[in-house]
Copies of this chain bind each other. A is one copy, B any other.
Amino acid sequence: MTSAHVYIGISLDGFIARKDDQIDWLDAFDVEGEEHGYDAFMEEMDVVVMGRRTYEKVLTFGFWPFSKPVVVLSNTLTGADVPDENAGKAEFFTGSPQDVLAHLDSKGWSKAYLDGGQVIQSFLRDGLVSDMILTRLPILIGEGLSLFGPVARDVRLEHIETKSFSKSGFVQSRYKVLNGAD
């Protein structure tokens, strides 16, 4: 079965975006010359899975930032909604996290990068996240979209490694999710 992996930046108080989806605060840090490992992570992934909200945020970037196929989870969007310039780069799918992984598996994709809070929360709730790389930014934004949400029971994780970055002050930890998928 396809495995699911998280790589995401998060404020010290647990948010991945402001309430209006803005991520301006991510740009407040000097990261010049720092290698946080995103490219190496993405290189290992076969497909990117995100929710509609994250997808619509990505469309505002003005460029398509993914080199791998993208699956957008949405009950309402259809293939017709993919802008022409992104044709063939993104597809839409609706179903449970388990359904999503089965679909990815059927396409021959073995590692999925989960992007966006809602998608990550739903996969965590269903015990379907293998590991997470969390990059903690040294800022409190007070309110916004939380990375984490309710869980049916405590989820234990195994800490694999932590790196900190002297210029930005980022602290990046890698965890294996113990109650999740292996």
Chain A residues packing against B (C-beta within 8 Å) = 12-14, 25, 28, 124, 134, 136, 138-143, 146-152, 154-159, 161-162, 164, 169-171, 173, 175
Contact = CB atoms under 8 A, between A and B. Distances in A.
A164 B157 contact: no
A154 B25 contact: yes
Contact of A12 (B28, B157, B161, B162): B157
Complex copy number for this chain = 2
B159 A140 contact: no
A142 B150 contact: yes
A124 B161 CA distance: 29
B139 A175 contact: no
B164 A161 contact: yes
Contact of A141 (B138, B139, B151): B151
B148 A14 contact: yes
Contacts of A14: 13-14, 148
22 contacts: A12-B134, A13-B14, A13-B146, A13-B147, A13-B148, A14-B148, A28-B154, A124-B140, A138-B156, A140-B148, A140-B151, A140-B154, A140-B155, A140-B157, A142-B148, A142-B149, A142-B152, A142-B155, A159-B170, A164-B173, A169-B175, A171-B171
